[in-house]
Amino acid sequence: MKRCKILEIEIQNLKLSENLVVFEEQKQIPERESRKILSNDEPLIFVGGIPRSGTTLMRAILDAHPNVRCGGETMMIPNFLSWQASWRKSDWANNTGITRKVMDDAVSAFMMEIIAKHGEMADRLCNKDPYTALWLPTLQRLYPNSKFILMIRDARAIIHSMIERKVPVVGYNISDEKQMFRNWNTEIRKMTTQCMMAGGNCLKVYYERLIQRPKDEIERICQFLDIEFDERMLKHEEFIGVEVALSSQEFSASQVKNSINNEPLTSWFDCFDMELLSKLDRLAPFLKLLGYDTESDKPSYDYFASDDFFEFRSVYS
Ligand SMILES: Nc1ncnc2c1ncn2[C@@H]1O[C@H](COP(=O)(O)OS(=O)(=O)O)[C@@H](OP(=O)(O)O)[C@H]1O
């Protein structure tokens, strides 16, 4: 990476405004009132995608809705999903009477407790841990009434953000940009395929459209989630510390505290070598498939804001 605008580095340099909720030591968090385990029929909302795709902004917008609570990342749900899957593969499970149904009931109850009790109670509970987007079929089976929002963003912006903001993401080697693009391609292929297979229960949200046409996109999202649009969702930043809990430990806290803005669209311009950019269609063919202009090193994102954006999308995009 070269000639880059220096982005604010996450965590270390965070300058948090006073109304940010900064979670103190674990022991100082008051115990949540004890509640019954919720049924797995709850219409949960999941927000996921590749990290740096605008997932925190998306969940903050939802948190600003009076009937929805996402809260911060649990940091454990995707790991737990991966762990429970590895147990299912072992012989141990076959010889103990722990059937798939027993395991499903236990896993869904465990995750529901975490999702419900790590924040305030709300009519619609939501979880934002980016890599749940690799587990859509499992989540659909465990929570049949759940809905998934898949955030999609230009891989060049994502990789630039990981490198410049020094955000460590497992699977992305910041000293090998080609590897990062290849990994993005593998992950987004899996996520978009699973989203497509989830039919009407998964909605793809393009970051570039969300920040350019926020009202239209938020209304579309509300329709998908079957909740009423609320004007507060357009000014999430005013509710930080009230409806929108934001921890200093979240990698995007320093940006999410701002109103929705277009600045991150172009912050990656002039940062990659032309030689690398010229190989993008081979390294990350999904970028073009999803509608991004891979010909230009300074693409326009007007297309994502256009009125007919949804009319000519391919089955994948
Ligand atoms: N208010 C607002 N307006 C416009 N864009 C915003 C906003 N809040 C967050 N963001 C951008 O979201 C990017 C971080 O994405 P994620 O939240 O998915 O990252 S992470 O999962 O927490 O690592 C990150 O992108 P980069 O700026 O390119 O790093 C943020 O700028």
Region 62-73: mean pLDDT is 96
State residue 98's pLDDT score: 85
Q: List alpha helices for 232-279, DSSP H.
A: 253-256, 274-277
State residue 37's pLDDT score: 65
Average pLDDT of every residue of the chain: 89
To the query of whether residue 120 is one of the catalytic residues in this protein, the response is: no
Region 258-267: mean pLDDT is 96
For tokens 């305030």, what's the residue? 120
Model confidence pLDDT, tens digit, residues 18-46: 334 444 344 444 555 555 668 899 999 99
Contact 132, 33 (CB under 8 A): no
Model confidence pLDDT, tens digit, residues 191-232: 999 999 998 999 999 999 999 999 999 999 999 999 999 999
Q: Indicate if ligand 1 lies below 6 Å from the C-beta of 56.
A: yes
**Model confidence at 59: pLDDT above 70:** yes
Q: What DSSP element (H or E) covers 151? A: strand 147-152
| CA–CA gap between residue 70 and residue 127 (Å, rounded) | 5
Task: Locate the domains of the chain by residue range.
Answer: 45-304
Q: Is ipTM over 0.95?
A: yes
Model confidence pLDDT, tens digit, residues 109-167: 999 999 999 998 999 999 999 999 999 999 999 999 999 999 999 999 999 999 999 99
Output DSSP code: residue 138.
H
Residue nearest to atom 12 of ligand 1 (CA): 54
Region 56-74: mean pLDDT is 97
What is the percent of the chain where pLDDT is above 90? 74
| pTM for the predicted model, two decimal places | 0.91
- The catalytically annotated residue of 10, 25, 73, 120 is 73
First-to-final CA distance of the chain: 28
Centre of ligand 1 to C-alpha 120, Å, is 24
Region 179-185: mean pLDDT is 98
Model confidence pLDDT, tens digit, residues 79-98: 999 999 988 876 666 678 88
**Model confidence at 174: pLDDT above 90:** yes
State residue 92's pLDDT score: 62
| CA–CA gap between residue 174 and residue 160 (Å, rounded) | 10
45-304 topology per CATH:
Rossmann fold (3.40.50)
State residue 232's pLDDT score: 97
- Beta pairing class for 68-69 and 45-49: unpaired
**Model confidence at 297: pLDDT above 80:** yes
Assign residue 52 a region (left: φ > 0; alpha: ψ between -120 and 50; beta: otherwise). left
| CA–CA gap between residue 152 and residue 119 (Å, rounded) | 26
Beta bridge partners of 158: none
Centre of ligand 1 to C-alpha 58, Å, is 9
Q: Indicate if ligand 1 lies below 6 Å from the C-beta of 71.
A: no
State residue 35's pLDDT score: 58
**Model confidence at 270: pLDDT above 70:** yes
Q: Indicate if ligand 1 lies below 6 Å from the C-beta of 127.
A: no
| CA–CA gap between residue 310 and residue 256 (Å, rounded) | 27
Q: Indicate if ligand 1 lies below 6 Å from the C-beta of 53.
A: yes
Q: pLDDT band for 283, please (50, 70, 90 cuts).
A: very high
Q: Sign of the C-alpha dihedral, residues 14, 272, 152, 104?
A: negative
**Model confidence at 182: pLDDT above 50:** yes
Minimal CA–CA distance to 85: which of 138, 27, 151, 39?
138
Tally Cβ neighbours within 10 Å of residue 186. Answer: 13
